[in-house]
Amino acid sequence: MKHVSALVLLSFLAAACSAGPPAGDDGGTSVFCGGIAGIACPGAGRCVDDPSDDCNPTKGGADCGGVCACIETELCVRGSHFDSSPSVCACVPDGGQACGPTTCGPGMSCCNASCGTCVKPGMACIQIACD
């Protein structure tokens, strides 16, 4: 029974991560965070309440899902810039980001360096190890 419970939790987490952002009119740029699993935001992102749902963390909804907000709070070194997209929220190299055996092009970010996989900000990425 313990294996089934763990499988159900893993299925829930996989669905939450790959389902994309919560409903809203942000054009699909929001990144899910919080919830019962306490999913953290990437980079320097901060998890804030999702205004598009009816769950209120201050009124008994301690496990409410949220969306990542990115506020530039760091200075980047020369040759890099701050990517304020909620899926990155960090300094990234100018002119492409090194990602294992590949370099991500403009507007892309490295999601799996082991495989050299680049994605557009906010897109889901499989986390497996490649040779």
pLDDT averaged over every residue in the chain: 74
Distance CA 81, CA 90 (A): 8
Rounded mean pLDDT, 49-74: 84
Say yes or no to pLDDT of 25 above 70. no
How far apart (Å, rounded) are the C-alpha atoms in residues 35 and 63?
A: 5
Q: Is 12 helix (H, G, I), strand (E, B) or coil?
A: helix
66-118 tens-digit pLDDT: 999 998 877 888 878 888 888 888 887 777 778 888 888 877 888 888 888 88
pLDDT of residue 68: 92
- Taking the C-alpha atoms of residue 68 and residue 54, their distance in angstroms, rounded to an integer, is 17
Q: Which has the higher per-residue pLDDT, 55 or 122?
A: 55
Q: CA 101, CA 118: separation in Å to the nearest integer?
A: 11
Identify the pLDDT of residue 17. Answer: 35
Query: 10 pLDDT exceeds 50?
Result: no
The whole-number pLDDT of residue 18 equals: 33
pLDDT band at 29 (very low <50, low <70, confident <90, very high): low
